Structure 1
Amino acid sequence: MKLTKKINLLKMRGLGCGMMRGMTLLELTVVIMVLLALISVLFVGAQAWKRGSDRALCIINIQQVQKGVRSFSNLYGHSPGEGVPGLQMRVIGLGKFVESSPSCPSAGSYTYGPTFGADTIPPVGEVYLKCSLATSGHVPSNVADW
């Protein structure tokens, strides 16, 4: 008698032989909400990663052009602050110090020689290339020895 009573009690609770308990609508909604929250965190993280990688690539572009200008001035005996007609064309292009004209990956625009002019070798500590997104971090942190 006791065994039959326990089996009947289990069947009433839905835990009897062969009966599987499903998820209620509320439980299913909670699971979907948690998954959506995790996916949104993933998208926010990916977007932040993309902004950071674009910023780093922009700084690398500025650095490469700066190295090209310094290499040109050292090779041809020009000193910082000296004017060189067509400096940009002599540094950037196929077979030159920088192979192609750089472009900002975040759709910013570059200005050549923003402080001293496009045809002037910048003094040490000044960059030759400036991004329009400098306020968004598209600027090297330390250019004192550039």
Structure 2
Amino acid sequence: MKLTNNTKRAKGMTLLELTVVILVLLSLISILFIGARAWKKGSDRAGCIMNIRNAQQAVRSYANMYNIPNGTNTQVPAGELVGAGKFLETAPVCPAGGSYTDLTGAITPPAVGTLAMTCSLATSENHVPDDLQGW
């Protein structure tokens, strides 16, 4: 005599399985957002350092062209660095929303190892180059 099993297996997922899948997906999404935030912060820092580097090169280039020694009280005249056809086409803007020291006024070419322009986020967001020796 053959015994038959009359229980039917329901197709689909149980509520517990669905909850576990949702929790795993939420965990992966949260890790993605944490990584994206860290990437954005690093990207903003790198962009800010590049702006500082470009401003430093502009000040040094002007000083070299007009034979102004670094660290002296001779100033770069206002408006000579930033503008169309000048050393910087446009005034730099911090990608993280910080503010830079003004480059449109008179600037003294700094001594080597000192920055000509700084960001307001230099201390809080570390928007400053790691090594200023050759700057």
Q: TM-score, normalised by structure 1?
A: 0.82
Q: Sequence identity, in percent?
A: 52
Say if 2:71 and 2:109, in contact at 8 Å, map to a contact too: yes
Unpaired runs of at least 5, structure 1: 15-19
With a CA cutoff of 8 Å and minimum separation of 6, indicate the structure with the bigger relative contact order.
Answer: 2
Amino acid at match of 2:114: E
Residue 7 of structure 2 corresponds to 12
Tell me which of 71, 75, 87 is aligned to 2:65. Answer: 75
1:1-146 to structure 2, matched below 5 A, reads 1=1, 4-5=2-3, 8-9=4-5, 11-12=6-7, 14=9, 21-82=11-72, 83-87=74-78, 89-112=79-102, 118-135=106-123, 136-146=125-135
Q: Give the number of the structure whose residues are more often strand, by fraction.
A: 1
Q: Give how far 1:98 is off.
A: 1.1
Q: Which moved more, 1:117-126 or 1:50-59?
A: 117-126
Choose 1 or 2 for highest CA Rg: 1
With over 3 angstroms needed to count, the CA separation of the structure-2 counterparts of 1:124 and 1:112, relative to structure 1, is: farther
Say if 2:62 and 2:76, in contact at 8 Å, map to a contact too: no
Q: Structure 2: how far apart are the matches of 1:107 and 1:70?
A: 26
Aligned pairs, number:
132
Amino acid at match of 1:130: T
Root-mean-square deviation over aligned CA pairs: 1.9
Unpaired runs of at least 5, structure 2: none
Q: Give the number of the structure whose residues are more often helix, by fraction.
A: 1
